[in-house]
Amino acid sequence: MLNNKPIKPTESEIEILQVLWEKDAATVREVHEVLSVYKDSGYTTTLKLLQIMHEKGLVTRDDSSKTHIYKANVDKEKTQQQMLGKMVDALFGGSASQLVMQALGSSQPSEQELEEIQAMLNNLKQK
Q: Is the pLDDT score of 7 beyond 50?
A: yes
Taking the C-alpha atoms of residue 7 and residue 50, their distance in angstroms, rounded to an integer, is 15
- Mean pLDDT for 20-28 is 97
Residues near 28 by beta carbon (within 8 Å), at least 6 away in sequence: 43, 46, 47, 50, 68, 70
What is the predicted pLDDT for the residue at 4?
55
Residues near 13 by beta carbon (within 8 Å), at least 6 away in sequence: 49, 52, 53, 58
- Does 127 or 63 have the greater pLDDT score? 63
The residue type of 24 is: D
pTM of the model: 0.76
Taking the C-alpha atoms of residue 74 and residue 17, their distance in angstroms, rounded to an integer, is 9
The class (CATH top level) of 11-72 is: mainly alpha
Quick: pLDDT tens for 40-95: 889 999 999 999 999 999 999 999 988 999 999 999 999 988 888 888 999 999 99
Taking the C-alpha atoms of residue 26 and residue 20, their distance in angstroms, rounded to an integer, is 6
- For the chain, which residues make up each domain, given as ranges? 11-72, 76-126
